[in-house]
Structure 1
Amino acid sequence: MAYADQQKMTGSKIAGIVIAVAINVGLILALVFGLTISAIKKEIERVTTIDIEEPPPPPEEPDEPPPEQPDVAPPPPVAPPPPINIAPAPPPIQTQPTIPPPSPPALRIPPPAPVAPPAPPPAPSKARGARTKNERSWAGRIQENYPARALREEIEGTVGVRVTVTADGRATGCSVTASSGSSILDAAACQGMERYARFDPALDAAGNPTSDTYSTRITYRLN
């Protein structure tokens, strides 16, 4: 027999053996399985009630304190982002058909004028009236010039006179203010005043010489 035929026969035998073994194993398993099911059914019918007790709950474990957590520095504060300003839409522009009148000008009140400093006190006035100068001398000369007619007629009397004293201290414009009763004595008194009388002239407020008036009485007496 050739080698190839031997190989074919050997393979066929092996296959047949495997099939036979499988059939036997299956029969055995079927038999065992059937017996087992019958036994289980009989046991179920025999047992009517089975008390099932719940196992006791496991003992409670004691509470364990939470594990200590290490000190951790808090995170740095985070600044919130800046708000975003969303500008609203601009209002609509309204046009006026008529131009309003201009507003009145603002009232401006000028500042008060500065207070003027007080005026300096006025200088003392230098004004004064006319004063006689060497009055005894010229008054004696007027009496010495006794009118000759009045001597012959032995006429005596007192004459009141008034003269204008000029700025240079001389007498002028004599007038009789009180008559002696004798026109001769009255005329002689005015002539003597205008010829012999001398004065310190009057002064105005600034101290300048000015005109003034002066009044006096002249008495004529016989020895």
Structure 2
Amino acid sequence: MTASIPAQAQRPGLDATPAAQTRIWDLPTRVFHWVLAVAVIAQIATGFGGAMEWHFRIGYVLLALLLFRIAWGFVGGRWSRFSSFLYSPRSLRDYLRGRAPPDHLVGHSPLGALSVFALLLLLVVQVATGLVADDEIAASGPLAQFVPGAIVSAATYWHAMIGKWIVIGLASLHVLAVLFYVGVRRQRLVRPMITGDKRLPEGGTAPSRDDAASRLLAMAVFAACAAFATWIASLRP
């Protein structure tokens, strides 16, 4: 979740500053965002629909995507790096009180960052438990054979009975929050995640790097992550 700069957070005289399109979200981050959304929806659908082979396949895609996003959080564009949206509790408090500085509202806002980290962490846990889950009928994760039975049982229970509902709840809350910001607060959140750009005061915001070299790096990183996920998949009995 992202947020543009609300009027009350702008500095005096900011409206008179010439605005320019500034690259905030690099292409790899945008592709990750939308592919992840589709994959999560597909994973929920296949889980409830009992299409377990597809559930596993999409799970490996999610594994590769999450590994990529973790790596890209350190080497990606300026506003895709974790360092750009690691906020202190005080920053979150100031944001909720409408006193956040403008640079905290360019990429992920403090509240949006909390949502992003929560979703990423939960998805990592959900994928990890799926890799060691075993329903003792037809579905067994590729790593279940390597861990103690007690861990397999706990992971299976979490994955099938608890984690999936928390994922659905957080994802739904995320969508509702975006709709609120777009419909009520009139902040453009969706378009920048499609085009990558935001209209911001000229020269006031450092753009994200999004050139051919960075995109090639992203492809190499994702290829490594996909190769690892493929190897994990090959361990399934």
TM-score by length of 2: 0.18
| Bigger fraction of residues in strand | 1
Q: Which gives a bigger RCO, structure 1 or 2 (Cα 8 Å, sep 6+)?
A: 2
Larger radius of gyration: 1
| Bigger fraction of residues in helix | 2
